[in-house]
Amino acid sequence: MVYLNKKEGISKGSNICWKNILSSAIVAVFVTILCLGNLAMAQGKLKPVSEEEFKKGKDIYNKYCAACHGEEGNGNGPLNGALYPKPRDFTKGQYKIRSNPTGSLPTDADLIHVISVGVHGTSMIPWDILELDQIKSILPVLKSFSEAWQYREPEPSVVLGREMQATQNTIARGKELYEQKECWKCHGEIGHGDGPSSYDLEDEWAIPIQAYDFTREGKYKGGATNKDIYLRFTTGMNGTPMPSFANELSDEDRWCMVHYVKSLTKQKKDRHEE
């Protein structure tokens, strides 16, 4: 936009002369060629899709996704106002639920997984109602919304360590880490999502968000299996204050955390039964 404004300044100036007009025309042509060139180059980085295939995906996107995520992919569809949590804005290329290291773009498998199983606690339903082919056809559309996809490649999925069995010890170790790593600051001392920092949490879009309440059963956004939760500890959630613990904690410790946070739901259940 700065560039545009500048140009406007020139043409609106009092010294309109042929030289200026000519030079701006030359610049304009040059810029256009450059842009087209860039685009051609950039598309080379993406998996090539035929125009027809892209259009097919775009139709499905507009029919089923655009109501929330917007035709421009900016999360500002007609239903945006009615939704909380807000629909994902694809233009930043930030995806929370992935299987690869923090900061990375999601793999195709990640995208397909999230679309097919939905996101719990949000209006993102499991789109298993669509054929797999249809879901796949949406991916190039999602990728077209952010230039991130032109310059970066998704990193490969992390390798899952062998899952540990939950024991009293692993839960106790998880609890220790929960305190040590200050999880409680957001997620609360007994996992209610009501820690001291929880009240002014924001994501990168400056939208207020809530720390997860572990006592709600099975409503984890990224899925409620041990593996899902392990992945969140490992990959973090891009765009949110939830960090990755891949470097800070050992594989075993991350499993211990999984066991501990899962035990919080159970504790609530036990309390109810009493």
Tokens, residue 260: 């501990």
CA distances from 120 to 36, 149, 212 (A): 41, 26, 11
Least distance CB 123 / another protein (angstroms)? 3
Q: Which residue lies nearer to another protein by CB, 65 or 231?
A: 65
Site for another protein in 45-84 (CB under 8 A): 63-64, 66-67, 77-79, 82-84
First to last CA, the chain: 63
**Shortest distance in whole angstroms from residue 39 CB to another protein:** 7
Q: Which is nearer to another protein, 59 or 228 (CB)?
A: 59
In angstroms, what is the minimal distance from the CB of 80 to another protein?
A: 11
Task: Give the C-alpha separation, 46 to 43, whole Å.
Answer: 5
> Which of 2, 17, 40, 159: binder of another protein (CB under 8 A)?
2
The CB-of-121 to another protein minimum distance in angstroms stands at 8
Q: How far is the CB of 173 from another protein (least distance, A)?
A: 35
Q: Please state the φ and ψ torsions of residue 210, each to the nearest 5 degrees.
A: -110, 140
Residues 131-170: x where in contact with another protein by CB under 8 A, - otherwise, as a string? ----------------x-----------------------
- 173, HSE (Cβ side, Cα atoms, 13 Å): 17
Residue (80 or 226) nearer to another protein, CB: 80
| Nearer to another protein (CB atom), residue 17 or residue 82 | 82
- Among 222, 69, 61, 47, residue whose Cα is nearest residue 135: 61
- 220 contact partners, CB below 8 Å, separation of at least 6: 120, 212, 228, 229, 232
Q: Residue 185: CA atoms inside 13 Å, Cβ hemisphere, count?
A: 10
Q: Contact at 8 Å (CB) between 185 and 197?
A: yes
Whole-number minimum distance, CB 267 to another protein, in Å? 24
Q: Which of 20, 38, 180, 267 binds another protein (CB under 8 A)?
A: 38
Q: Which is nearer to another protein, 136 or 185 (CB)?
A: 136
Both tokens assigned to 98: 């992935």
User: Rounded to the nearest 5°, which phi and psi values hold at 208?
Assistant: -60, 135
What residues from 16 to 35 belong to the interface with another protein (CB under 8 A)? 31-32, 34-35
Interface residues toward another protein, by CB under 8 A: 1-4, 31-32, 34-36, 38-39, 63-64, 66-67, 77-79, 82-85, 118, 121-126, 129-130, 147
